[in-house]
Structure 1
């Protein structure tokens, strides 16, 4: 296995090391959340990059802000205990005072909480003023988690009191649930017991507790599928979906504008062979690009009934979305014609992130040596953001399908290039599994912005 790894890591870009990064390289590593940015500051301080780090404190730079989790603690580590602390704190608190309901404001509030818990009385006071000074309504409480982490259970009680006042005005108002407010920080039953104790002498808290109890009763009356066998659960959900979305409804939906693609992919998972053939029949006569793309999405996770000439034609369509969707549909089949198309597309100098899903053609048509072509095509790209993510997602799919350490170079390209921490974790796990994780990447991962990736490196030498 080691030999296989050693033949795939020779690429023109030198591997990331714990050395001083250029300003541009630091900016990329910081935005991506890679540990190289932390290692740079540990060795060389904030000189020349302080403005970049401050900007990343004020703006949440996660690629997938919902799935990757908070970066606040990671960002705090860049300036905590440094001579620049005062400048950072002043700017963050000023921005927080004007913040709204968005990911940037959430990060600023979390940073203020961290600073307050670290002994910064000004930051603690500013966060309290910001949270308690807002108008409580049926909208989300801004800074609920941040003030909870700063002040503990009393903060949860006070939020419940203020939301209870909202409910006193409108008993049907939607307010943050106790599950959301607690978020595993404290034992839920202990918090609920405390709220019920306070509620005996506080009408507003009693209103909030009443809402919670009503929701718990309603939840208990709902069917409990938690112990259902996974296969049975999937079958039940599939049957329910197909009852609501028969093939005629899917064919009609393909002609409607602005409808998501998820419905078509879900249909493809559960459709019968007869249904799939009806979708293919429509594709043979459909000319509207958006409708073609939607119908092709039926075959995103499900093989085509046959390698139809119409799908081959759509694989060369002028619309990149249609062309990609057709390539994915073809990729499930192992066939010399599909392999030939894969080689042609990656050898084409015009290959780019616009056609990223053409990499999928190798999933079931890979042959030894193709990794060199794939890596060369990836290395030709100058990409970041969405473009890098699209290419990397398809590259990860190939790595998983082929599942061989000869793809280590492709996995390393994903690590270096992809702005998404979750994708970065996936390729690091694959490199570990193959026994090909380079020491410099392992060292970086110990300082990654993604908590799960840091945990993955625990115990690794």
Structure 2
């Protein structure tokens, strides 16, 4: 494996890196591994899996843990603006829990410096260092900074800190009444007016859901406009409402010009056919708002028609509409489609690889990470409807090229269903960044 290949699979979170490190000299890749530890260059930090356990295991497999520890702690002590500070704290926490005093000292110093600047990076990790005393330390330090009028408005502080603290010290009121904790409580808890509004909206949602199937479309429209019903509620209402009310909903959706309301109301037809057929919805595939096009494609996927298949193929041909074409294909699949989609997926190059972001367009002839991610999601949906042995080639290509470690478990599950997961890949799945993938292959092995 060369450096570019190693960087690629590390970006994806494949277990191949750990399998390799367990039996090869990884010194040529130390800087690549360190970059991953410091900057966490993954497809999507918001939805991706926690990389700290995976990277910690990889570091241990290299046999060079002291070298990595030193560099990671140095970075945590003085991080640059691009570093992933939460990941640095996650890794330092593991070192500290293994008895590394330098890691503990560095974590505490960085956390206190962060708090003085109105940031809480490291709070969750510090709270896990020891017993309840660590949690108390976190709350007291943030509360003390609030007393000094440090501005925390740029970060979100979870009420769970306070909930956990109050549970841990429920029999020690003198601690909970500490002025620093009282300040934290005052700043984090909702005000009486905020709590009253929250409880009112919560009661409204509960009342609406209790009588969901009795609601008229007028009720539904108003509730959606007030954000009191979610997409799951709309699916349920659409499934069970009368034909008359469903047509009222269809008339309104077609007439709406407010796109933020239109895309939500389209969810009514996810589980029930649009009463006027597919033709009246086709213009929505050209809507300027992505969410309207996305939801319209889902509604149209309930219909099967040559015109819809032709439109699906047209959408598949362009990078910016590929996902809508994949969704339409769910209702208009034909034999040979898996091979057609496989032809769209070009293997990642072995040379000149650079860590790519979600916005990456890929190199010439390659799909962007965003489109590869869409393929992983939609091909799984397609496989659930049309499981076929010929899907194996496409699934293996997506395993190799898909950027998202969170979604890869579906691909592995589909390959296992086909009994088409090669032994080499099954072995590396035991070390994947996604624990669900590890569990899948472990369960199959038993």
The TM-score, its normalising length taken from structure 2, stands at 0.73
> Aligned partners of 1:26 and 1:76: how far apart in 2?
16
User: Please, which moves more after superposition, 361-370 or 190-199?
Assistant: 190-199
1:157 to 133, 136, 151: 136
1:364 aligns with 2:361: no
1:102-117 superposed matches below 5 A? 104-117=84-97
1:454 to 428, 438, 442: 438
The C-alpha deviation readout for 1:77-135, integer Å capped at 9, x for no partner, is 22237564344233322321234898701011111222222233222221121123443
CA contact (8 A) 1:351 1:377 kept: no
The C-alpha deviation readout for 1:320-347, integer Å capped at 9, x for no partner, is 958777654432212233234445665x
1:293-372 superposed matches below 5 A? 295=262, 298-299=265-266, 302=270, 303-307=273-277, 309=279, 311-312=281-282, 315=285, 327-343=297-313, 350-352=317-319, 354-372=321-339
The C-alpha deviation readout for 1:20-77, integer Å capped at 9, x for no partner, is x332222111011111121122221323211111100001223232333421121122
* CA-CA distance at 1:266 after TM superposition: 8.3
Flag the 1:76–1:410 CA change in 2: closer, same or farther, 3 A. same
Q: Paired residues, what number?
A: 410
CA contact (8 A) 1:296 1:329 kept: no
Instruction: Give 3-state SS (helix, strand or coil) of 2:128's partner.
Output: helix
CA contact (8 A) 2:89 2:107 kept: yes
1:134-173 superposed matches below 5 A? 134-136=114-116, 139-166=118-145
1:69-108 superposed matches below 5 A? 69-80=49-60, 82=62, 84-99=64-79, 104-108=84-88
CA contact (8 A) 1:35 1:449 kept: yes
Give the match for residue 8 of structure 2.
Answer: 28
* CA-CA distance at 1:297 after TM superposition: 7.0
Flag the 1:144–1:101 CA change in 2: closer, same or farther, 3 A. farther
Which runs of 5 or more structure 1 residues have no equivalent in the other structure? 1-20, 251-261
Flag the 1:237–1:420 CA change in 2: closer, same or farther, 3 A. farther
Give the match for residue 180 of structure 2.
Answer: 204
> Aligned partners of 1:356 and 1:91: how far apart in 2?
41
2:369 to 361, 375, 385: 385
The TM-score, its normalising length taken from structure 1, stands at 0.71
- Cα-Cα RMSD: 4.7
> Aligned partners of 2:212 and 2:119: how far apart in 1?
33
> Aligned partners of 1:297 and 1:245: how far apart in 2?
8
> Aligned partners of 2:422 and 2:111: how far apart in 1?
45
Flag the 1:101–1:276 CA change in 2: closer, same or farther, 3 A. farther
Give the match for residue 34 of structure 2.
Answer: 54
1:179 aligns with 2:160: yes
Flag the 1:270–1:318 CA change in 2: closer, same or farther, 3 A. closer
Which runs of 5 or more structure 2 residues have no equivalent in the other structure? 239-245, 348-364
> Aligned partners of 1:266 and 1:101: how far apart in 2?
42
